[in-house]
Amino acid sequence: MINYAVVFGCIVVLGLPLNAASLWILIQRHRLKSPSAVFMINLALADLLLVLSLPMRVYYYATGTWSLGVVACTFMTMLFRNNIRASAIFITFIGVDRLLAVVFPLRSRHLRNTTNSWKACGLVWIFLVAVNIPESVSFSRNRYHNNQTTCFVFSDSWTGPTAPMYIQACLVLTLLAVNIFSTSMVSWKLHQLGASGQMTDNKINVMLIFAMNLLMFVIFFLPVSLAMIVGHVTTIYATMCLASLNCCFDPLLYYFSLDSFWKKKDNSVSSSLK
């Protein structure tokens, strides 16, 4: 278990300043200027919550003891699982927003506003809490071993994937399909627009966002969701470490989405992305 402590410790050291700085910049500089900014603020918040929960994992994996009780363990575990779900949803929202801006710039103007974006984000958090309630009850029942509270491990009495795990796998697969569709549509539209000068740079930035979105799903979200279903404990631990790394890569998404697009407003593609 000490290897997991080292991995999560490195993620904390790298992810905490990155996400704290990203959230501050998003709020102070970009605020509510676009739907994408709203989604990214919520994504950064989800990542920051994940990072803040990791020191407890480092402590447990390093010492093998947990003295904070079942409630604290359940809360920290839900923060971890919610990051995967929230990140997958908010990244998909960002992709769909780009899709609407590029492919349907005029017809989507009434949909692409900060009010609707905040409403969508609010529904996401409500959904996550609703899933957490029965999941927390099921999780807390198996937190005792030899009269001691265990945490962040799968107990000997674990019987396999639960309903929320199946829900997560279906959610990630569905959102991956949405991202693939969005990528295809935007690529087709940008190919129709042609390319010259600054237009080429903006088109590259647009496709970089979609490429990063797909990589996030394939590398970070999909493996851990499928591992939970397969039920191989060693694989689950490894993919959980991998999934945690997503919080260190999301700032790249903020950079390409906001800086590149908002600084180049003199062409048709970037103007439609405001």
Q: Is the pLDDT of residue 269 over 60?
A: no
Return the minimum-mean-pLDDT range out of 93-102, 192-201, 219-228, 251-260.
192-201
How many CB atoms lie under 10 A from the CB of residue 77?
A: 21
Residue 50 included in any domain = yes
Residue 274 included in any domain = no
Average pLDDT of the chain to the nearest whole number:
83
How many CB atoms lie under 10 A from the CB of residue 266?
A: 9
Residue 44 included in any domain = yes
Give the C-alpha separation, 23 to 61, whole Å.
29
Give the C-alpha separation, 118 to 115, whole Å.
5
Give the C-alpha separation, 50 to 269, whole Å.
34
Domain boundaries, position 90: 2-265
pLDDT per residue as tens digits for the range 126-152: 999 999 998 888 877 766 555 456 788
**In the prediction, which pLDDT does 270 show?**
44
Q: List the beta bridge partners of residue 144.
A: 149
153 CB-side CA count, 13 A = 20
List C-alpha distances in Å: 188 to 128, 182, 203: 34, 10, 11
Residue 271 included in any domain = no
CA dihedral 229, 241, 149, 167 (to 10 degrees): -30
Give the C-alpha separation, 206 to 208, whole Å.
5
Q: Contact, 249 vs 19, CB < 8 A? A: no
Q: How many structural domains does the chain have?
A: 1
Residue 80 included in any domain = yes
Residue 273 included in any domain = no
CATH code of the domain in which 171 resides? 1.20.1070.10
Which of 179-188, 222-231, 232-241, 248-257 reaches the highest mean pLDDT?
Answer: 179-188
